Amino acid sequence: MTAPLTAKAVLGLYRAVGRLATPLVERHLERRRERGREDRERMAERLGRDMAARPPGPLVWLHAASVGESLSALPLLERIRSDWPGVALLVTTGTVTSARLMAERLPEGVIHQYIPVDLIGAIERFMDHWQPALGLLVESEFWPNLLTAAKARGCELVLVNGRVSPASYRSWRRFAPGIRFLLAQFSEVFAQSPEDLAHFEGLGAPRARCLGNLKFAAPPDADPEQLAAFRADLKDRPLWLAASTHAGEEAIAGAAHQALRERHPGLLTLIVPRHPDRGAAIAQELRSLGLTVARRSLDEPIGPEVDIYLADTIGELGLWYRLAKIAFIGKSLTSTGGQNPLEAAKLGCAILFGPHSENFLRVCEEMEAAGALRRVTESESLTAEISELLQDAALCERMGRAAQDCAEAQAGVLEATLAALAPRFERIAAQPPSDVTAG
């Protein structure tokens, strides 16, 4: 009987296939660039080339795959920057939208780069150039070359806000030796919930503990001038928000608006799709229902005739949660998993959620038990709940306060994460600048 391949043998095979496939990967990146899904000016970074100048001295690297992970890491980055100003900070992300967002919101002096694709040549060029002393990877980034090349160069790796969804856990258990090998590259895993901790332990993470979810750390921000302008324009119009919606949920929100507008004159429905590039298709779908739609991305005004304001932009949920105190959270009616309700809770919204909350099960159960969240199952129940909340301001306020209380009960996660990282930063900060030079 043939002996099973070891994890290291599989890694060697993965790297060999990657080398052979490099031309195909480069062509794939070029096709993505043509579709606007890669940055035309910074494509070389995805192959570990033409990177920014490395500052002298010790450097800490944080990787967040996309927008959600990047936003959750911002409070942590801001504190690291203020608490350890002598340590250089590099942030990597993998998408155009997250790069644009980071350009606007990163603390001064923090460098942003695109993460290279997981080809060993690209990863080695990246690591040799940046020489990070510590790598903080957010949520669930387990690229084999990225992890093993970092550790081989003496970069300590910590998984921050670690998350393993139930579906991922079931899938990864089928490849237990491989995932155990990858998790062994981390010196420690900070899980965001007890369920995630159990998943990491079940997958063989050598050192894991639950510190809580960094998305509790701070609410999403909003431009004060824009917020004031919207409030002035909307005056006393009744409104509600469908946030982070997925395909099918916009039509359900539109149907709810149609059923509600006679009972609530002047009603405005705000829809924030999870993927703003669907904006044109969503607007067309809603208009086919006889609804008047204005789009944020086109800077269209919210006139009194507008039924739906389609906020098809990135990184502005903080604005919409402050405007609308009733929030339906998407990916919970027509898709499974559910999106993050914590930002809405932090800002005091009464929360409505579909039957699918697998990605935030404990959070939703706690909010439901506290009276902060109500479940809906289809357009009719969504309509009924919105109507009751629009009519009963006291009920809406009670739910919003309960949601804030649930979020505040977890607010110590940032301090807990910083305390867990502090010995590492103190050790790194003590290194003289001459110990590390740019690659």
Catalytically active residues, by annotation: 69
Is-contact 353 341, C-beta < 8 A? yes
Nearest to 59 by CA among 81, 43, 75: 81
Show Cβ contacts of residue 262 under 8 Å, excluding neighbours closer than 6 positions: none
- The enclosing H or E element of 226 equals helix 224-234
CA dihedral 364, 366, 371, 373 (to 10 degrees): -10
Tally of CA atoms within 13 A in the half-sphere of 201 that contains its CB: 10
Is-contact 267 261, C-beta < 8 A? yes
Q: Which two tokens stand for residue 408?
A: 């505040």
Task: Tell me how far apart the terminal alpha carbons of the chain are, to the nearest angstrom.
Answer: 47
Q: Is 209 helix (H, G, I), strand (E, B) or coil?
A: strand
Nearest to 190 by CA among 152, 233, 140: 140
Dihedral sign from CA coordinates of 202, 203, 209, 213: negative
Q: Is 268 helix (H, G, I), strand (E, B) or coil?
A: strand
Nearest to 129 by CA among 153, 148, 95: 153
Is-contact 44 50, C-beta < 8 A? yes
CA–CA separation, 214 and 69 (whole Å): 9
Task: List C-alpha distances in Å: 347 to 272, 344, 406.
Answer: 16, 5, 11
CA–CA separation, 396 and 407 (whole Å): 17
